[in-house]
Amino acid sequence: MNESLNIANATVTDIPELVLLVNSAYRGDSSKKGWTTEADLLDGVRVTAETLLEQMNTPGQHFLKAIDQTGAIVGCVSLLEKSNKIYLGMLTVEPNIQGGGIGKLLIEASETFTQSLGIKVIEMTVISVRSELIAYYERRGYRLTGEKRPFPNDPKFGIQKQALEFIVMEKTL
């Protein structure tokens, strides 16, 4: 499958497709087709067109997209320059094709992009109860820093079904 994928920079014209992709992978019944669902932890949407536009217009913010042979966006990742690190977020793969290596490909592209900026550290936050996701990132060289951060108590990030917090993971390239 990966041979037929192209990784490119996402732009504001991609926002409608990205919103559908991200929300389908993280929330609601469609997300339960994949293993990255947060539907049992959070209600609401994962992202809106307005928040994506705001993020895309933030200096130092970059989005990569994985495009299949039909031109459809089947994956994406957000990369934000933060002083001497890149914050990797919103790693998304279309739920019906998760497990096929697209996430790994996006992580590798993120690491190459980070190095092209002369930055050597990637940081991410993961919901602490997502042990399978933490293990996935550990297999790709990311390590727990021991730092924890509160989950935002703001409906624009989702409505918590239980108390949640983030753990911080990092990889030095």
* DSSP secondary structure letter of residue 152: P
Q: Is the pLDDT of residue 2 over 70?
A: no
Q: Angle 125-127-133 (CA atoms, 0-180°, nearest 5)?
A: 85
pTM (whole model) above 0.75: yes
DSSP 8-state assignment for residue 4: G
Domains, the chain: 2-172 (3.40.630.30)
Question: What does the H/E/C string look like for 119-151?
Answer: CCEEEEEEECCCHHHHHHHHHCCCEEEEEEEEC
The HSE-up count of residue 31 (CA atoms within 13 Å, CB side) is 21
- Does residue 16 contact residue 76 with C-beta atoms inside 8 Å? no
DSSP letters spanning 84-98: TEEEEEEEEE-GGGT
Q: Tell me the per-residue pLDDT of 47-97, one tens digit each, with 9 for 90 and over.
A: 999 999 999 999 999 999 999 999 999 999 999 999 899 999 999 999 999
Q: % helix / strand / coil in the chain, to the nearest 5?
A: 35, 35, 30
Whether residue 76 contacts residue 10, with contact meaning beta carbons closer than 8 Å, is answered with yes
**E strand or H helix at 160, and its extent?**
strand 159-160
Give residue for tokens 């933030």. Answer: 58
Tokens 């980070």 label which residue?
114
pLDDT in tens, 86-129: 999 999 999 999 999 999 999 999 999 999 999 999 999 999 99
